[in-house]
Amino acid sequence: MSHEKPILEHPEVPTLFDVQEMELNFGPQHPSTHGVLRLVLKVDGEKILEARPEIGYLHRGTEKLFETQTYPMGIPHTDRMDYTAAATNNHAFCLTIEKLLNLEIPRRAQLIRVILDELQRLASHLVWLGTSGIDLGAVTPFWYCFREREQILDFFEEYCGARLTLNCMRIGGLPFDLTPGWTERLSEFVDDLPARIDDYEQLLTENRIWKRRTIGVGVISGEECIERGLTGPVLRGSGVEWDLRRAQPYECYEELDFVIPTRKNGDTYDRYIVRVQEMRQSVRILRQCLDRLEPGEIRGKVPRVIKPPAEEVYASIESPKGELGFYCVSNGSNRPYRLHCRPPSFINLQALPRLAKGHLISDLVALIGTIDIVLGEVDR
Amino acid sequence: MKVLTPTVLTYIKVVLLVALVPAIVGFVVVLAERRFMGFMQVRLGPNRVGPKGTLQGLADLVKLVTKEDVTPARAEGAVHFLAPVLSVIPALTALAVIPFGPSLQLARNVSTPLYVADVNIGLLFLLAITSIGVYGIILGGWASNNKYSLLGGLRSAAQLISYEVPMGLALVSVLLMTRSLSLVEIVQRQERIHLWFVFPGLLAFFLYFVSGVAETNRNPFDLPEAESELVSGFNTEYSGVKFAFFFLGEYTAMIIISCVAVTVFFGGWLAPFPNTPAFAFLKVVPPFAWFVLKAGFFVFLYIWFRSTFPRYRFDQLMALGWKWMIPAGLLNIVVVAFAILATPGRTTGMVILAWIFGVVFVLMFLLARLRQALTRRDRLAAEHADPAAAR
């Protein structure tokens, strides 16, 4: 009979050997997407055939907001981009406008800025270490990391009153001087830190399961990192010694003595090691800055109304996540004509589909962790 | 006294077991887990409900029972309902054959052994009944109409079935030593030969306990649940009492694994060194208390693991099971069989094995320590080689 077709010719009925792809919605409400990242996955069993990031859930039009407000009013908006590292965001923003204005920053302000930056780097890396441990099922390091991060936030709170959205820098310098006793307490904390970092490493670095979960996962070569514009620990984990603190020194980084940790393999484990080493280097930088700190001005000669000349500048700093830059177009008024941000998270996230392909779902959470994105910065 | 016939006593024991174990699980184990983990993770853990947080279990229970019971749209209703039941009932049934103690004098003429039944195929019964519990997880994952749950269910299907094999192989080597499947007989035999089976069966014990952890979906083998990957996997779509049942099933299974480890490898209710006169004072503690102490230690191990280890990846888990544990289990059977058959008497071989395993264990421990020290030294050297590293 004509209507009886053999089953195999029926397109809807898969045969035993067809690969049945399943589309899986990963996020935006998923515990391991570090915010509101949504990934549309095509999976064969648990193997990822394709991962497509869908971003924009946290889009607030920050770049447009910059245009509607005066230059100093832009600083609080930067707090809300990478909300685990507000100080470095403030710093990059201020640095851009200062470059536009050709301002000199007093030495004390430079040193305090570097201290705040490095504290922020520590805080950001601690959040990263804790959460990426949880992603791979190691819950305990999270609590240790957050214990220390909490102390860092206390230092911020004492300095500027805020713990997360710091708003702790001003164009031309800093809003406040340090409170009395702050440096002494900080140097105590800094002396404590290396032993605490040893604790985290004790739990993870030589752990067999941790190594198996991270070595060889998400390998990316140095050349490819450069092609894709990846920066920060991701780039350094692939063997490229590139750190803006050394490559284009800003503030007083030139005179500070630190090492840029790099690793060769470009896998998740190497990125882990690089970040942990960076934390140790931050401790060194903090010590040096604390030693050099002397009384002085904290704010340069800034005009009351900031009206930069009609120019275009780009300035960038090494944020905990990579190169954080601002590109500012000024038309001579007191508001930026256009202020574009180069967020490291957004650009590093581009590598995720390439990294995830062929790995398992379990590796995907490791990979989201290892590129260290913050969705506030990705979506802006 | 005619009322307390053995049959009636058995019924009483069954009721106590079914009523008591959930209570113990709910109150003691969960509280202990949360407090211990709190301690290990520099936080407090629950300490608000009741004195020192001791009534937290009750609060949790009230919360779970009063919660709305949601069945997702287009879920397989009947299976979705049955799955949690399927994970609890086998776990509770398995408790029936576990000998908690030799016998208890209730009155002048009435004494009763502290187990519901001495089944002569006890060990086989345990393996059979606990593996039914797997269905609860597989079916629950499948029936939820959720892709994450489905992945969790699939993971558990593969994981739990693979780890049954090394567990069975580990127990077979104990059978070679006891020549009996009865759990009571296994304990009594350990008393007779003056040797806990953990010593000649050290490898078997490790295999057993690791597969036991994998069987119960606990860290580092909690892949079917894997909160950070599969959003709690098979139990994502469960709430209220049904979730409580899964919870209960998991924790009861944990207790069973610990109890079997104690019974088979650590002399059950026996005090340590039961036949050495110098340690006779240890018998002051009643046998039941010894059992609980030992089982508690293993439950503590579970908790310890949970707060220490990251999670295995699925393929690594399978590789560990099939490429390492099953061959090791098979090898262990050959070694144990050889030791028992090739030596005169029934215990000489076991004593020799115990020495061999003991020496190997100590050597491996020392080697691991050495390696740890060396890597640490290398790391420190690397840090100091960098001249700027010093302050």
Tell me if A361 is assigned to some domain. yes
What's the mean pLDDT when you consider all of chain B?
A: 82
Question: Is residue B146 within 8 Å of B237, Cβ to Cβ?
Answer: yes
Q: What is the pLDDT confidence band of residue A127, given thresholds at 50, 70 and 90?
A: very high
Contact B313 A143 (CB under 8 A): no
Task: Give chain B positions within 8 Å (CB) of A361.
Answer: 151, 229-230
Nearest to B313 among A24, A213, A284 (CB): A213
What pLDDT is recorded for position B57? 81
The residue whose two tokens read 């581009």 is A350
Pairing label, strands A38-44, A47-54 = antiparallel
CA A11 to chain centre: 47
Provide mean pLDDT across the span A131-153.
89
Provide mean pLDDT across the span A176-195.
88
Contact B226 A209 (CB under 8 A): no
Q: What is the pLDDT confidence band of residue A152, given thresholds at 50, 70 and 90?
A: very high
Distance from CA of A41 to the nearest CA of B (A): 12
Backbone angles phi and psi of A34, in degrees to 5: 50, 50
Distance from CA of A253 to the nearest CA of B (A): 15
Contact A140 B41 (CB under 8 A): yes
Q: What is the pLDDT confidence band of residue B17, given thresholds at 50, 70 and 90?
A: confident
**Best mutation target, A48, A139, A211, A273, to test chain B (most B CBs within 10 A):** A139
The CATH number assigned to the domain holding A270 equals 1.10.645.10
Provide mean pLDDT across the span A284-301.
86
B75-93: pLDDT as tens digits: 777 888 888 888 888 888 8
Better-scored residue on pLDDT, B200 or A115: A115
Q: Which residue of A has its CA nearest to B154?
A: A45
Contact A139 B226 (CB under 8 A): no
Task: Give chain A positions within 8 Å (CB) of B141.
Answer: none
On the CB side of B234, CA atoms within 13 Å amount to 30
Q: What is the DSSP letter of A47?
A: E
Better-scored residue on pLDDT, B264 or A31: B264
What pLDDT is recorded for position B220? 85
CA A18 to chain centre: 41
Q: What does each C-alpha distance from B16 to A235, B242, B296 come to in angstroms?
A: 62, 22, 19
Contact A137 B220 (CB under 8 A): yes
Contact B307 A139 (CB under 8 A): yes
Q: What is the DSSP letter of A69?
A: S
- Cβ neighbours around B146 below 10 Å, total: 20
d(CA B232, CA B222) in angstroms, rounded, equals 10
Contact A139 B306 (CB under 8 A): yes
**Best mutation target, A33, A38, A46, to test chain B (most B CBs within 10 A):** A46
Better-scored residue on pLDDT, A232 or B195: A232
What pLDDT is recorded for position A124? 92
Better-scored residue on pLDDT, B256 or B76: B256
Better-scored residue on pLDDT, A359 or B19: A359
B276-319: pLDDT as tens digits: 777 777 777 788 888 888 888 998 998 899 888 888 888 888 88
Residue A278 identity (one-letter amino acid): E
Task: Give chain B positions within 8 Å (CB) of A360.
Answer: 313-315
Q: Which residue of B has its CA nearest to A210?
A: B310
Backbone angles phi and psi of B372, in degrees to 5: -60, -45
In DSSP terms, which residues pair with A41 in a beta bridge?
A24, A51
Residue B305 identity (one-letter amino acid): F
How many structural domains are present in chain A?
Answer: 1
**Of B199, B188, B216, residue with least CA distance to B118:** B188
What pLDDT is recorded for position A121? 92
Nearest to A31 among B41, B154, B227 (CB): B227
Task: Give chain A positions within 8 Å (CB) of B155.
Answer: 46
- Domain of A176 in residue numbering reads as 57-379
Which pairs count as long-range contacts for B173-176, CB under 8 Å and 24+ apart, including other chains?
B173/B201, B173/B204, B173/B329, B173/B332, B173/B333, B173/B336, B173/B337, B174/B201, B174/B204, B174/B264, B174/B265, B175/B123, B176/B333, B176/B336, B176/B337, B176/B340
Proportion of chain A above pLDDT 90, given as a percent = 15
Backbone angles phi and psi of A329, in degrees to 5: -110, 120
Tell me if A230 is assigned to some domain. yes
The residue whose two tokens read 């009925």 is A13
Task: Give chain B positions within 8 Å (CB) of A30.
Answer: 231
Distance from CA of A138 to the nearest CA of B (A): 4
Nearest to B375 among A204, A206, A209 (CB): A206
Contact A362 B314 (CB under 8 A): yes
Tell me if A7 is assigned to some domain. no
Better-scored residue on pLDDT, B314 or B110: B314
Distance from CA of B50 to the nearest CA of A (A): 26
Task: Give chain B positions within 8 Å (CB) of A259.
Answer: 386, 388-389
Q: What is the pLDDT confidence band of residue B390, given thresholds at 50, 70 and 90?
A: very low
d(CA B177, CA A319) in angstroms, rounded, equals 63
Proportion of chain B above pLDDT 70, given as a percent = 95
Nearest to A213 among B41, B231, B310 (CB): B310
Q: What does each C-alpha distance from B365 to A24, A131, B211, B297, B328 come to in angstroms?
A: 44, 32, 21, 21, 18
Better-scored residue on pLDDT, B284 or A170: A170
List residues in chain A touching B: CB distance below 8 A. 22, 24, 30-32, 45-46, 133-140, 142-144, 147, 203-204, 206-207, 209-210, 212-213, 257-259, 280, 284, 287, 360-365
Q: Which residue of B has its CA nearest to A284?
A: B391
Contact A361 B229 (CB under 8 A): yes
Distance from CA of B373 to the nearest CA of A (A): 11
What pLDDT is recorded for position A10? 52
**Best mutation target, B155, B229, B230, B320, to test chain A (most A CBs within 10 A):** B229
Measured at the CA of A182, the angle between CA A180 and CA A185, to 5 degrees, comes to 130
Contact B315 A137 (CB under 8 A): no
Question: Is residue A241 within 8 Å of A226, Cβ to Cβ?
Answer: no
Domain range annotation of chain B: 6-342, 346-391
**DSSP string of A150-202, one letter each residue:** HHHHHHHHHHHS-SSS----BTTB-SSPPPTTHHHHHHHHHHHHHHHHHHHHH
Provide mean pLDDT across the span B95-102.
82
What pLDDT is recorded for position A122? 92
Provide mean pLDDT across the span B130-154.
84
What pLDDT is recorded for position B41? 86
Collect all residues with Cβ–Cβ distance below 8 Å to A209 and sequence separation of at least 6. B220, B309, B310, B311, B312
What pLDDT is recorded for position B293? 87
Q: What is the pLDDT confidence band of residue B389, given thresholds at 50, 70 and 90?
A: very low
The residue whose two tokens read 């830059």 is A325
Distance from CA of A77 to the nearest CA of B (A): 31
Q: Which residue of A has its CA nearest to B39?
A: A140
Contact A209 B227 (CB under 8 A): no
Contact B41 A361 (CB under 8 A): no
Burial A99-120 (b: 16+ CB within 10 A, else e): bbbebebbbbbbbbbbbbbbbb
Using a 10 angstrom Cβ sphere, with 0-12 exposed, 13-18 middle and 19 or more buried, the burial of residue A335 is: middle
Question: Can you give the length of chain A in residues?
Answer: 380
Contact A140 B231 (CB under 8 A): no
**DSSP string of A299-365, one letter each residue:** B----SS----S-EEEEEEEETTEEEEEEEEE-SSSSEEEEEEE-HHHHHHTTHHHHHTTSBHHHHH
Question: Is residue B95 within 8 Å of B164, Cβ to Cβ?
Answer: no
d(CA B116, CA B106) in angstroms, rounded, equals 15
Indicate the SS3 state at residue A53.
Answer: strand
Inform me whether the pLDDT recorded for B126 exceeds 80. Answer: yes
Provide mean pLDDT across the span A320-328.
91
What pLDDT is recorded for position B367? 92
Collect all residues with Cβ–Cβ distance below 8 Å to A161 and sequence separation of at least 6. none
B172-212: pLDDT as tens digits: 888 888 888 888 888 888 878 777 888 888 888 989 999 99
Contact A46 B151 (CB under 8 A): yes
Inform me whether the pLDDT recorded for A3 exceeds 60. Answer: no
**Best mutation target, A21, A202, A209, to test chain B (most B CBs within 10 A):** A209
Contact B231 A213 (CB under 8 A): no
Distance from CA of A135 to the nearest CA of B (A): 5
A14-55: pLDDT as tens digits: 566 666 778 888 878 887 777 788 888 888 878 888 888 888
Structure-token pair, residue B302: 């579970």
Contact A361 B151 (CB under 8 A): yes
- Cβ neighbours around B367 below 10 Å, total: 10
**Best mutation target, B311, B376, B384, to test chain A (most A CBs within 10 A):** B311
